[in-house]
Chains A and B, each alone.
Chain A
Amino acid sequence: MEESIKLHYIVPGDDFTRAGAASGDVKRTLKELGVSPAVIRNVSIAMYEGEINMVIHANGGEIDVEITGEDIIMTLRDEGPGIENVELAMKEGYSTAPDNIRTLGFGAGMGLPNIKKYTDEFSIDTELGVGTTLNLRVHIQ
């Protein structure tokens, strides 16, 4: 790949019918580019978990994806409530999802741990009352 491909998505808050649209589109794009199924799977899982967290916990946000010859770089930015204790939020099983969200199948507290597990680089910038940004990178090789 000579030049990098840049994709931008707006994720609406509280709209489950469209949640997963951005991840689905990135998945299709990577498939067309001939990226390996294992890498596509890692990117799909990480991005979907981030996307759905924006919908559930942060009233939506924006996602930028850059695909270079070496990496897939994802930046997920929201202006939601922020995360009070990141270490706790990263624990498997920790979730503040309300009951009405849990009945939809969310709230296992596995989203952020999944994101960490399926990416090569992962960082969270978050500030209470300001928002949360996830910086994710998956190597193509």
Chain B
Amino acid sequence: MIIAKRDYMKKKIHITKHDLLPKHVKISEKEKKAILKKYQVTLKEMPKIMKADAALQGMKAEVGDMIKITRKSPTAGEAVYYRVVTDA
């Protein structure tokens, strides 16, 4: 039992590789413009994500960037969601 615990402590967990975390991808400026146009919105009307969010680790996302999130769904197969990076 004790050995197992020590192993667990040593292991570093990479959330971004976890099975339950949906795929987060930073999209290009061009794609971002297209999304804004498609939904007729400005960044203010978009859902947000904190810059410090664990899902954005190692992505070099800056405030104003757009993140594409691809989730698995039992009814829709894959569901796409967009969020804008914010810091407050």
Chain A partners chain B: no
Which residues of A are in contact with B by a Cβ distance under 8 Å? none
Which residues of B are in contact with A by a Cβ distance under 8 Å? none
